[in-house]
Amino acid sequence: MHKRTFVRTLAQAGAAAAALCAGGIAFAQGTPFKIGLILPMTGQQATTGRQIEAAAKLWMAQNGDTVAGRKVELIIKDDTTLPDVTRRLAQELVVNEKVDVLAGMGITPSALAAGPIATQSKTPLVVMAAATSIITEASPYIVRTSFTLPQVSVSIADWAPKNGIKSVVTLVSDYGPGIDAEKYFSERLILDGGKVLDKLRVPLRNPDFAPFLQKVRDLKPDALFVFVPSGAGAAVMKQFGERGMDKAGIRLIGTGDVTDDDQLNDMGDVALGVVTSHHYSAAHPSAANKKFVEAFQKANKNMRPNFMAVGGYDGMRVIYEALKKTGGKGGGDALLAGMKGQIFESPRGPVYIDAQTRDIVQNVYLRKVERKDGQLWNVEFDVIKDVKDPGKSK
Amino acid sequence: MLTILFDGIAYGMLLFILAVGLAVTMGLMNFINLAHGAFAMVGGYITVLLMQRAGVPFIVCLPIAFVGTALLGAIAERTLYRPLYRRPHLDQVLFSIGLVLMSVAAVDYFVGSTQQILQLPDWLKGRTEIGEGAWTLGMGHYRLFIIAVCALVTVLLQWVLSRTRFGSRLRASVDDQRVAAGMGINVNVVFLSTFAVGSGLAGLGGALGSEVLGLDPTFPLKYMIYFLIVVAVGGTSSITGPLLAALLLGIADVAGKYYIPKMGAFIVYTLMIAILLWRPQGLFVRQGGKA
């Protein structure tokens, strides 16, 4: 290249850089605080995305979009329930949009895919939906506001032998949370004197429950323990009823994902009497929850919030509180420090973000499906307080 | 074990109804129509929406789904498909994939992406058990219904193909399109009506299958591979070929998932690979048919 062109280009680049820096410094205080919310809005877990989006928007409607003098901007991206897309979107959000916080993560593979991006860019990642224990270990910048399967599975394993259930077959979806549920439920049940007759795993995509349920029918256990991701519960329930399993004396127990509030009312009478353990029921009798459910239904055409929505709602609270603690300045490490150790009252009950593990500590409730005012609800009848994730407790 | 056989037969018959339209149009028009699953999805959604929003009874929805999808198929054939008959297969594949993606997005936009839950009428919800112990035959009433409807449709199809003039025109056009046109057969009308009926059958299959297979906007993409396997294994030159292929695959799938749950879904693919290695044209193809 000619020396003159070279010098000219260098000068132009230098001028541009100087202008940017000057502009950058001037804008630092006024730049909006960006939250990059990556959710499955289409694809298999689209109901999760819908619920969390509605909850996040509800939070911002109730609490405004300005925190400590800084405007908060919510950027929602659809990862179509594919972890490769999640990773790409996380990268784009961090590099192009320069988000201050990443959030969402509809399924475990998505959270694990985005983890390295959070670590490399020192951006806190608030996991609002995914539920496998190891997620918080995938990156030191991950904070979870959803739940973990081990947390909710051991509670029902303790309840079962005290209520006439000695032999169980487990049926789970074959991915992270499912395997966690199977492991912790079986171990606790065997510890309490029960027997696990068989452990069946159904593929995550395109699950066809009929042959597996037929196998359960032939094994004749006292109960069938089920874990399937949010949204697949209805299919299991229908097949359960169609095979006449309730009439054959097999009870259905599981984690609350199978009686997901989002679908519960449409499942019909076959769901009555099903006992599950979970961290949130839309029928939780606290004032905070009543307000939350009412506001949610009003803003979303009577759609009932489920545990995914509560994870999103609390995730937004964690982000807002952390931003307040840094006085509006933000910054990856400062925000992370602000998120750890938060204690607050969530619509689900009291919640604590453990400072060591960055995971959520919450109450786990035992609930039974009952009909109230013409609708089906998960009515809580027992509670185990402040359950730490057994998958990690050292 | 008998129950598994029964479930497999029900699943196979359902697959047959869904795939027969594809087999016939592929054999007849030599057109790779990957959007066939979209017609099935349309039939399913017509049924679900009519039942949920207008309270139409399930049994009435079935013929409506058939007719509605057939009409849609006829319109699509006349406007979208006909200009592409002469084009190379790759263009047809690209076109039909585009059509599938559009239909998936359209349904997602208008209806939403939740799994649609169908409430069957009470007389279809029961279960009958015959026999004892290892030889128990448990028959869900809905699966019995599926088998009955599909058997009826199969018999009707076979009758139309072999005993009516339209059937012989169709068979002539499949064998050799140019000679058939030369003999005065209006090939365009044959194509139009065959495509319409094929799509209508897919719609009926989608309506019947919503309960068993689940219904959401990604239905065409999820199940397209099964229809293609039925057509590849069964061949496109008759309807008994796809029927037997579908039954074989249905039983293999259900039995595989029951006896070897770890390999579960892979059984079908293994079987397909084995069969195609043995007979590349499909199991039931007449030798010497036009390629």
Mean pLDDT, chain A, rounded, equals: 87
Query: How far is residue B154's CA from residue B135's CA, in Å, rounded to a whole number?
Result: 29
Nearest residue, CB atoms, B265 vs list A203, A241, A262: A203
Position B286 scores a pLDDT of 58
What number of CA atoms fall less than 13 Å from residue A284's CA on the CB side? 30
The whole-angstrom distance between residue A305's C-alpha and the CA centroid of its chain comes to 13
Low-confidence residues of chain B: pLDDT under 50: 288-291
**Chain A residue numbers touching B7 (CB-CB < 8 A):** 210-211, 214
The answer to whether residue A27 scores a pLDDT higher than 60 is no
**Residue A375 resides in a domain:** yes
**Residue A243 resides in a domain:** yes
Tokens of residue B192, six digits: 């139009």
Phi and psi for B86 in degrees, rounded to 5? -85, -10
Residue A210 and residue B254: Cβ atoms within 8 Å?
yes
Position B16 scores a pLDDT of 93
Nearest residue, CB atoms, A208 vs list B119, B140, B257: B257
Nearest-neighbour CA in chain B from A24: distance (Å): 40
Taking only the tens place, the pLDDT of each residue in A206-265 is 667 888 888 898 888 999 999 988 778 888 888 888 888 888 889 999 999 889 888 888
Q: B 110-129 residues with CB below 8 A of A?
A: 112-115, 117, 119, 125, 127, 129
Cβ atoms of A228 and A172 within 8 Å: the answer is yes
**Chain B residue numbers touching A242 (CB-CB < 8 A):** 125, 127, 140, 142
Residues in Cβ contact with B76 at an 8 Å cutoff, skipping those fewer than 6 apart = B195, B199
Cβ atoms of A114 and A87 within 8 Å: the answer is yes
**Residue B137 resides in a domain:** yes
Q: Report strand pairing: A101-104 vs A70-78.
A: unpaired
Q: Same domain, yes or no, for A348 and A369?
A: no
**Residue A350 resides in a domain:** yes
Position A10 scores a pLDDT of 67
**Residue B250 resides in a domain:** no
Q: How many other C-beta atoms lie within 10 A of the C-beta of residue A129?
A: 31
> Average pLDDT for residues A348-368, to the nearest whole number?
92
Residue A214 and residue B258: Cβ atoms within 8 Å?
yes
**B264 touches A at CB < 8 Å:** yes
Taking alpha carbons only, the member of A214, A32, A40 closest to residue B138 is A214
Q: CA geometry: angle at B252 spanning B251 and B253, to 5°?
A: 90
Query: How far is residue A276's CA from residue A156's CA, in Å, rounded to a whole number?
Result: 7
**B221 touches A at CB < 8 Å:** no
DSSP string, chain B: -HHHHHHHHHHHHHHHHHHHHHHHHHHHH----TTHHHHHHHHHHHHHHHHHHH---HHHHHHHHHHHHHHHHHHHIIIIIGGGTTS-HHHHHHHHHHHHHHHHHHHHHHH-SSPPPP---GGGS-EEEES-GGG-EEEEHHHHHHHHHHHHHHHHHHHHHHHSHHHHHHHHHHH-HHHHHHTT--HHHHHHHHHHHHHHHHHHHHHHHHHHH---TTHHHHHHHHHHHHHHHH-SS-SHHHHHHHHHHHHHHHHHHHH-TTTTTHHHHHHHHHHHHH-TT-TTPPTT---
> Average pLDDT for residues A317-340, to the nearest whole number?
90
Q: Same domain, yes or no, for A157 and A227?
A: yes
Query: How far is residue A232's CA from residue B26's CA, in Å, rounded to a whole number?
Result: 34
Residue B212 and residue A210: Cβ atoms within 8 Å?
yes
> Average pLDDT for residues A123-142, to the nearest whole number?
92
Q: Same domain, yes or no, for A178 and A247?
A: yes
Nearest-neighbour CA in chain B from A235: distance (Å): 7
**Chain B residue numbers touching A41 (CB-CB < 8 A):** 113
**A172 touches B at CB < 8 Å:** no
**Residue A267 resides in a domain:** yes
Query: How far is residue A176's CA from residue B110's CA, in Å, rounded to a whole number?
Result: 33
> What CATH number is given to the structural domain containing A98?
3.40.50.2300
Where does the pLDDT of residue A12 fall: very low under 50, low under 70, confident under 90, or very high at 90 and above? low
Position A79 scores a pLDDT of 92
Say which amino acid occupies B168: S
Nearest-neighbour CA in chain B from A277: distance (Å): 23
**What is the predicted ipTM?**
0.74
**Chain B residue numbers touching A244 (CB-CB < 8 A):** 127, 129, 138
Q: Same domain, yes or no, for A127 and A247?
A: no
Strand partners, A144: A127
Position B31 scores a pLDDT of 84
**B168 touches A at CB < 8 Å:** no
Q: A 308-367 residues with CB below 8 A of B?
A: none
Residue B3 and residue A203: Cβ atoms within 8 Å?
no
**Residue B239 resides in a domain:** no
Residue A214 and residue B117: Cβ atoms within 8 Å?
no
Q: Report strand pairing: A167-173 vs A195-202.
A: parallel
Position A28 scores a pLDDT of 46
Q: Report strand pairing: A349-353 vs A343-346.
A: antiparallel
Q: Same domain, yes or no, for A112 and A176?
A: no
User: Which residues constitute the domain of residue B45?
Assistant: 2-219
Please give the residue that has the higher pLDDT: either A18 or A190. Answer: A190
**Chain A residue numbers touching B216 (CB-CB < 8 A):** 46
Cβ atoms of A37 and A97 within 8 Å: the answer is no
Q: B 184-213 residues with CB below 8 A of A?
A: 211-213
Query: How far is residue A156's CA from residue A162's CA, in Å, rounded to a whole number?
Result: 10
Residue B114 and residue A46: Cβ atoms within 8 Å?
yes
Q: Report strand pairing: A125-127 vs A142-144.
A: parallel
The answer to whether residue A14 scores a pLDDT higher than 80 is no
Position B288 scores a pLDDT of 45
**Chain B residue numbers touching A210 (CB-CB < 8 A):** 7, 11, 212, 254
Query: How far is residue B8's CA from residue B19's CA, in Å, rounded to a whole number?
Result: 16
> Average pLDDT for residues A94-107, to the nearest whole number?
93
Nearest-neighbour CA in chain B from A47: distance (Å): 6
Cβ atoms of B23 and B199 within 8 Å: the answer is no
Percent of chain A whose predicted confidence (pLDDT) is above 90: 56
**Chain A residue numbers touching B117 (CB-CB < 8 A):** 234, 238, 263, 266-267
Residue B261 and residue A215: Cβ atoms within 8 Å?
yes
Q: Give the total number of structural domains in chain A.
A: 2
**Residue B229 resides in a domain:** no
> B158 exposed, middle or buried (CB, 10 Å; 0-12, 13-18, 19+)?
middle
Q: A 47-66 residues with CB below 8 A of B?
A: 47, 50
Look at the block and give the residue holding tokens 């499912």. Answer: A178
**Residue B264 resides in a domain:** no
**Residue A323 resides in a domain:** yes
Taking only the tens place, the pLDDT of each residue in A29-59 is 578 899 999 999 887 788 899 999 999 999 9
**Chain B residue numbers touching A211 (CB-CB < 8 A):** 4, 7, 254-258, 261
Q: Same domain, yes or no, for A383 and A249?
A: yes
Cβ atoms of A197 and A231 within 8 Å: the answer is no
Nearest-neighbour CA in chain A from B92: distance (Å): 26
Q: Could you tell me which chain A residue has the CA closest to the CA of B215?
A: A235
The answer to whether residue A141 scores a pLDDT higher than 60 is yes
The answer to whether residue A19 scores a pLDDT higher than 70 is no
Q: Same domain, yes or no, for A190 and A267?
A: yes
Residue A212 and residue B257: Cβ atoms within 8 Å?
yes
> Average pLDDT for residues A78-83, to the nearest whole number?
90
Q: Report strand pairing: A33-39 vs A101-104.
A: parallel
Q: CA geometry: angle at A289 spanning A321 and A274, to 5°?
A: 125
Position A206 scores a pLDDT of 63
Q: Same domain, yes or no, for A170 and A97?
A: no
**Residue B247 resides in a domain:** no
Position B289 scores a pLDDT of 44
**Chain B residue numbers touching A235 (CB-CB < 8 A):** 115, 214
The answer to whether residue A91 scores a pLDDT higher than 80 is yes
Tokens of residue A323, six digits: 């931003």
Cβ atoms of A227 and A254 within 8 Å: the answer is yes
The answer to whether residue A24 scores a pLDDT higher than 60 is no
Looking at A19-28, A107-116, A228-237, A378-387, which range is the least confident one?
Answer: A19-28
Position A102 scores a pLDDT of 94
Residue A242 and residue B142: Cβ atoms within 8 Å?
yes
Q: Same domain, yes or no, for A143 and A156?
A: no
**Residue B40 resides in a domain:** yes
Position B114 scores a pLDDT of 74
Taking only the tens place, the pLDDT of each residue in B180-232 is 889 888 888 888 999 999 999 999 999 998 888 888 888 898 888 889 999 98
Q: Same domain, yes or no, for A161 and A257?
A: yes
**Residue B177 resides in a domain:** yes
Q: Same domain, yes or no, for A35 and A131?
A: yes
**Chain A residue numbers touching B4 (CB-CB < 8 A):** 211, 214
Residues in Cβ contact with A311 at an 8 Å cutoff, skipping those fewer than 6 apart = A52, A55, A128, A129, A145, A146, A147
DSSP string, A147-193: --HHHHHHHHHHHGGGGT--EEEEEEESSHHHHHHHHHHHHHHHHTT
Q: Same domain, yes or no, for A230 and A180?
A: yes
**Residue A173 resides in a domain:** yes
Cβ atoms of A132 and A153 within 8 Å: the answer is no
Taking only the tens place, the pLDDT of each residue in A273-299 is 899 999 999 999 999 999 999 999 999
Cβ atoms of B240 and B24 within 8 Å: the answer is no
> A336 exposed, middle or buried (CB, 10 Å; 0-12, 13-18, 19+)?
buried
Position A329 scores a pLDDT of 84
Q: Give the total number of structural domains in chain B.
A: 1
End-to-end CA distance of chain B: 40
Q: Per residue in A295-309, is it b (16+ CB within 10 Å) or e — as a string?
A: bbeeebeebbbbbbb
Give the number of A-B residue pairs with CB atoms closer than 8 Å: 80
Q: A 205-244 residues with CB below 8 A of B?
A: 205-206, 208, 210-212, 214-215, 217, 231-232, 234-235, 238, 241-244
Say which amino acid occupies A341: G
User: Which residues constitute the domain of residue A55?
Assistant: 29-147+285-358
**Chain B residue numbers touching A238 (CB-CB < 8 A):** 117, 211
